[in-house]
Amino acid sequence: MRAYQNTLAKKREPIKKDVKGLESALEEMDDHLDWKETLDMSVDLGEVDNANDDIKRELAFYEASVKAVMDGRKKLKENGIPYLRPDDYLAEMVKDDKKMKMIEQKKTAIEEEKRQKLRKIIIRNKNKKRSNRKKYSRR
């Protein structure tokens, strides 16, 4: 607690705006990069009647975001840049490959068990239908 109080007691230096430094850094930046290097998108936010109306303002942000995504996907397709993961892609995770393999095997086993149960139900229903046909055909 004392260390925290000592930190609070120290006076902070005022933040200095280094405008010249920022401007020189901005000039050094290469603004001649291809779009695929930056993926920047600019979308018109449109007019919001009342900026204090949270719902309308959030809706405007949402619509602008959706438009930017749609435009971006279109631009990616035009430039031949893939943006979807392949079906067999496994993202890097905290779990190691051994654990992921066990999870995949368990998932496969559960799916197989479901298929077997469904198969048994189908066979049971077929047998019921056959026995019903035999009952009614004897009469």
pLDDT band at 22 (very low <50, low <70, confident <90, very high): confident
Give the residue extent of every domain in the chain: 34-84, 85-139
User: Hey, CA dihedral for 122, 128, 133, 134, is it positive or negative?
Assistant: positive
Calculate mean pLDDT across residues 102-108: 94
Name the one residue in this structure whose structure tokens are 């430039």. Answer: 79
What is the separation of C-alpha 22 from the centre of its chain, rounded to a whole number of angstroms? 34
Q: Which amino acid is at 20?
A: K
Q: Is pLDDT of 108 > 70?
A: yes
Higher pLDDT, 85 or 70: 70
Q: How far apart are CA 100 and CA 107, in angstroms?
A: 10
Tell me the DSSP string of the chain. Answer: -HHHHHHHHSPPPPPP--HHHHHHHHHHS-----HHHH----------S-TT-HHHHHHHHHHHHHHHHHHHHHHHHHTT---S--TT-----SS-HHHHHHHHHHHHHHHHHHHHHHHHHHHHHHHHHHHHHHHHHH-
Average pLDDT, the chain: 84
pTM score:
0.44
Calculate mean pLDDT across residues 10-32: 79
The pLDDT score that the predictor gives to residue 117 is: 96
Q: How far apart are CA 98 and CA 106, in angstroms?
A: 12
